[in-house]
Structure 1
Amino acid sequence: YAIVTQTPYGNTFTKDIVLELLEKEGVGKGAYTDYVSVSFTALEQIGNAFGSLSKEVQDCMVRLDFELQFLLQYLELTYGKENFLLVVSSTYGVETPYKSATATKNHGGVFKQVEALYILQKYLETTYGSGNWIEHSFGRQIYLNRDLIAQYNLSLPNIQDEAALFLLQLAGVSSVLTAHAMNSGVFFDETKQRIAHAYNQQRSGDIYYELLPGWTEQSTDKVAQHISSFSEITHVPLLWYGWKTKAQRIHTPIATTDIIPTLTEILAIQRPQKAYGTYIQGIFE
């Protein structure tokens, strides 16, 4: 069934499962408020496979619009508009693709992660000695081999800094943050603040790099266009519909991290410990 995830029918199956869940589990029929979270992921898979401006993505968008329409009609007919609250958003936006950026004379390019990691590995070997200095990479995070660093009796922060300075020399790299900097530093730059907020001491990598605007990243056979902290990526839709909402546009800056604090406020429950953000003013009557 893996191929289904790269077709619009992946979203159709997701919608059908949601409707079955609502019906068979009696969601919204009890004395307490029920919470249901749904993620339509086919669009992301299709975008990664064919590109954000492809006909396949356009087709998926049109079909997804119909899926959301069907789901909304079901909610209104089953529960009534005043008895449910629907929040629609996106995990991220999409950067301007490389070909589009060059066509409009903006600087851009493709950052080949595999080649960059190979060059960094050779640099660390030349500087510190033989060994597999890079243990793993995920997204734009690089995990260094800490056992090897300890074996050579080297300073982890120093090697993180050396690797960061080297990566900054590569074409397309705009900034590099190290784990020890995120542990001890205070950032006033909005982009770096977003990166630091996502950092986890137990799971995040030793190094995180950011690309320049207009640059996309090629990892193995895919060109990802959504791993970024720039405004093109973080600017996403946020729609509220149903219970006590009023038709309006809010022009003040709102973050997706404000969704959970707002929901916990109207439900009069404690927000999750790691949730940050503020209550969104003015969306309810």
Structure 2
Amino acid sequence: MKRFIFIFFIFSITASVLGQNEKPKLVVGIVVDQMRYDYLTRFNNKFCENGFKRMMREGFNCKNNHFNYVPTYTGPGHTSIYTGTTPKYHGVISNNWYDKEKKKMVYCAGDDSVTSVGTNASAGQMSPHRMLTTTFSDENRLFTQMRGKTIGISIKDRGAILPAGHTANAAYWFHGEDEGVWISSTFYMNTLPKWVNNFNDSKTAESYLKDWNTLYDIETYTESGTDLNNFEGGFKGKETATFPYELAKLKTKNGGFSILKVTPYGNSLIADFALAAIDGEALGQDDITDVLTVSFSCTDYVGHNFGVNSKEIEDTYIRLDKDLERFFNALDKKVGKGEYVAFLTADHGAIDVPAYLQSVRINSGYVDNDARKKVFQKFLMETFGTNDIVENISNNQIFLNKEKIKELDLDLDDVQEAIVNEQMTYKHISKAYTATAMGSVDFIEGIEALLQKGYNQKRSGDVILVDDPAYINYGKTGSTHGSGLNYDTHVPLLIFGKGIKHGHTFKKTEITDIAPTISALLGISFPNFAIGQPLDFVLE
């Protein structure tokens, strides 16, 4: 009997240990800011074998992965990836939005109740307090009784803070200008850890203030347009947006260390810091799963400046691929090959520069919001006798002054409908919807369904506007994003590592499926308002 009890005890311990070891020691979430899906295929011949290609070769490639809401911006994108839900529920409806209670614009990560750590500038006054739901990183912290660590890293504050969630041990972002340091806020800590101070003192950021030329012969960059064209922004102090760029000379007129954000070297700096964090925080060094969120933001800055068809964007992705290779190689050594899982996706895509599309006779162009506003104000005066019934117009939404409407004894629904009918007469307005429609009609497909999933009743406006396809309110150079069209919604989803199958699918997957999939892999609770489904076909 004693022998049976002893054997049963050993079996139970062994089973328990096996159960723990089935989980990855580290989950690495990688978001490549503004990465269209077709960058994977367009630049494929230029990629090395162990960056993007390794993820596709060893892991699972969801080739038809889309955002399932509008607007497709950085703040909502990062939040949706990690919460498994959309702005309708998590509340991050844009990067900046009009706060109907405070009667002013607010920033998705801004928080005046905290102070900067690592700088005297206000750049550290940030936290996730405006995000209403949990992330899978939060749920992992809760599941492990706060023993599993979470660290968030990005050049952008919102790219570090929102993925890491409310319970993160730390989030770090880069403060450029005349400092060039990684910082945080008192939401997480009162002083920077020693390893962060050591990294800042190492002058790594300064080492990247060097010439930016193409990694390979520019003549081989046949996957992008000509280097000299009319569709790119460039840097102050340089007449043309053409290689090479002498960053040390250009930095003075381009934000000091902040110029690194608009180069591939900023992504290299992110990779450097992420590897330092793995060592400094001992991530993935035991059987309790840790989470590291890394957002490569510089792809977005380069895209905004130079456009999606530029030599600069091609070189940026070629160099990012190299950074991914060394990052994965380091993870193999530091955590153990086959002991971690990593996924890679994007927070949104981007449109080809409309001026370029026009040059090849594709219907596209620019909207003049100032001209629209003048016509709209005239309509308001003629119809209601005042402009005061509109408080704010931003993010393609119109916010009404409810008190003024009540004072004028107007019906809110009637005012909304009148504005919709007026807006639909304007050039390059494709669709317009009222808040009443968003809250009362169950849209199941098309742009209407995307708008509805992005509509938060307490935070969004009274009228929602949609521009014509490929028409944007932006400068004539560089790319932007925000729509529900495929160029903005179709983004990569690559997953590889422990517990992940090899393969690919053209089945449509949605960005909100990522968090439930990682949660299922870890055996933890789904984020508290997740609407996505686990992608069981990627799990072993």
Q: Does 1:251 align with 2:251?
A: no
SS at match of 2:503: coil
Residues 143 and 3 of structure 1: is their aligned pair in 2 closer, same or farther, counting only changes over 3 Å? farther
Contact 2:513 2:533 in 1 (8 A): yes
Distance (Å, rounded) in 2 between the aligned partners of 1:152 and 1:166: 20
Deviation at 1:84, TM superposition (A): 0.7
Residues 98 and 80 of structure 1: is their aligned pair in 2 closer, same or farther, counting only changes over 3 Å? same
Q: Which has the higher contact order (CA 8 A, sep 6+)?
A: 2
Q: Does 1:181 align with 2:472?
A: no
SS at match of 2:317: helix
Residues 155 and 14 of structure 1: is their aligned pair in 2 closer, same or farther, counting only changes over 3 Å? farther
Residues 98 and 16 of structure 1: is their aligned pair in 2 closer, same or farther, counting only changes over 3 Å? same
**Aligned-partner residue type, residue 503 of structure 2:** Q
Q: Specify the alignment match of 1:218 in structure 2.
A: 474
Q: Specify the alignment match of 1:209 in structure 2.
A: 465
Distance (Å, rounded) in 1 between the aligned partners of 2:408 and 2:320: 54
1:135-161 CA deviation, whole Å, 9 max, x = no partner? 233322232233332332322222222
5 Å matches for 1:31-180? Answer: 31-180=287-436
What is the number of residues matched between the two proteins? 284
Deviation at 1:89, TM superposition (A): 0.5
Higher gyration radius (CA): 2
1:19-59 CA deviation, whole Å, 9 max, x = no partner? 22211111112332112222112221222233222333233
Distance (Å, rounded) in 1 between the aligned partners of 2:433 and 2:445: 12
**Aligned-partner residue type, residue 513 of structure 2:** D
Identify the match of residue 279 of structure 2 among 7, 23, 26. 23
Distance (Å, rounded) in 2 between the aligned partners of 1:224 and 1:42: 14
Contact 1:135 1:144 in 2 (8 A): yes
Distance (Å, rounded) in 1 between the aligned partners of 2:401 and 2:494: 44
Contact 1:217 1:224 in 2 (8 A): no
Contact 2:309 2:352 in 1 (8 A): no
SS at match of 1:240: strand
Question: What RMSD in Å do the two structures reach over aligned CA positions?
Answer: 2.2
Deviation at 1:224, TM superposition (A): 5.6
User: Unpaired runs of 5+ in structure 2?
Assistant: 1-175, 177-257
User: TM-score if structure 1 supplies the norm length?
Assistant: 0.90
User: TM-score if structure 2 supplies the norm length?
Assistant: 0.49
Q: Does 1:237 align with 2:500?
A: no
Deviation at 1:170, TM superposition (A): 1.9
Identity %, equivalent residues: 29
Runs of 4+ aligned residues of structure 1 deviating over 6 Å after TM superposition are: none
SS at match of 1:153: coil
Contact 1:164 1:177 in 2 (8 A): yes
Greater share of residues in helix: 1
User: Unpaired runs of 5+ in structure 1?
Assistant: none
SS at match of 1:37: strand
Distance (Å, rounded) in 2 between the aligned partners of 1:196 and 1:49: 31
SS at match of 1:209: strand
Distance (Å, rounded) in 2 between the aligned partners of 1:115 and 1:280: 46
